[in-house]
Amino acid sequence: MGRIDLKVGYSCNDACVHCVVDDFRDALQHSGRRQDKTFEEIQAELTDARTRGDQVVITGGEPTIRKDFKEILRFARQLGFEILIQSNGRGFSNPDLAEEAARLGGISYCIALHGPNAEVHDAVTTRPGSFAETVQGITNLVRLEQCVTSKVVLSRLNYEVLPQTVERLIELGSCHVSIAFPHAQGRARKLWDQVVPRYRDVVPFLHQALDRLRAAGRGADAETFLFCHMEGYEGHVTEIGQQLEDYVELNQYGSDRGVENWSNIRLQIKEKFPPCLSCRFYPVCEGPWNEYADAYGGEEFLPVAGQRVQHVREIVDGSFRREFPLLADLPL
């Protein structure tokens, strides 16, 4: 079955410079509607979604600041959902919350850390003290033997210290690190000059970070990075796994579009360029976000020569590295 994305609302105890939900939050405020769903609305959405999915990503805003957060977790588990909590992790600095979530079982965590120290992370979140609480939250969950993936959203404020950030996450015990290029919507669009770097500047630091994660035996993926920038690192491109998913449900709170399949919507808000047609990765590459393409153009994205890669499975199994197919791979 599919994966469901449940946004419980937009209230948050951070105010990250890259936050993409500002537009939806603003629209709700201007229309006089609540920033957050009620518990009853969440119950109804989960019950309906269970017919289409068996995994739910609980996100916001920041879900852990809700007074009914534990009840949401219990209800989702009662319905049989496997849960991924996307969070800034600050709530889990409270050991009682971390322990109760661990007792429920069937829960994994994606905790965002945007710098190796308070100076960088707190500049991204614009909330002094957030780094210390996030680090303590990760520490508490790891001590409870919970599966903690960490997420780093890149910006002009932190990309140069990305290798040091992943080193800190390795020390903290994160089993996997997801590194994301910013999607310039919401606050990221409003603060474009402060937030959105150029790929050509980021990629060397990304490769260093991936090398450190590989050496430490940790999983890693790089979201919205293009294959033309990932020679030798192709298997880390996040979209490989996303393209292998049949159904990812998105029901964006504050939007009138209703339930959508993110696997389809994602392709409509990215862009490729005419020279990309000659790239061997053209059939499997999604291109950068539209906003980036509109602002910076496509001169950074150079076609890669070689035999055409027709499906991401060729990257997963490594067969794309063979210039010509083996006889055993040819149809009889």
- 103-118 pLDDT, tens digit per residue, is 999 999 999 999 999 9
Selection from 145, 152, 118 nearest residue 132 by Cα? 118
Which of the residue ranges 10-14, 123-127, 262-266, 312-316 would you say has the lowest mean pLDDT? Answer: 262-266
Instruction: Name the pLDDT band for 31 (thresholds 50, 70, 90).
Output: confident
Compute the distance between CA of residue 242 and CA of residue 158 in angstroms, rounded to an integer.
Answer: 26
Quick one: pLDDT at residue 325? 52
Residue 257: pLDDT over 80: no
Residue 330: pLDDT over 50: no
**pTM of the complete model:** 0.93
Residue 329: pLDDT over 70: no
- 174-228 pLDDT, tens digit per residue, is 999 999 999 999 999 999 999 999 999 999 999 999 999 999 999 999 999 999 9
Compute the distance between CA of residue 245 and CA of residue 2 in angstroms, rounded to an integer.
Answer: 8
Question: What residues does 108 pair with on adjacent strands?
Answer: 84
Instruction: Name the pLDDT band for 323 (thresholds 50, 70, 90).
Output: low
Q: Which residue has the higher pLDDT, 331 or 148?
A: 148
Mean of pLDDT over the chain:
93
Helix (H) / strand (E) containing 223: strand 219-223
Q: Hey, CA dihedral for 210, 212, 215, 218, is it positive or negative?
A: negative
Compute the distance between CA of residue 43 and CA of residue 75 in angstroms, rounded to an integer.
Answer: 7
Residue 159 corresponds to which amino acid? Y
The CA distances from residue 186 to 17, 81, 189, 291, in Å, are: 9, 30, 5, 12
Compute the distance between CA of residue 332 and CA of residue 330 in angstroms, rounded to an integer.
Answer: 6
Residue 153: pLDDT over 80: yes
Pairing of strands 82-87, 53-59: parallel
Residue 258: pLDDT over 80: no
Residue 150: pLDDT over 50: yes
Which of the residue ranges 2-16, 25-39, 293-307 would you say has the lowest mean pLDDT? Answer: 25-39
Instruction: Name the pLDDT band for 249 (thresholds 50, 70, 90).
Output: confident
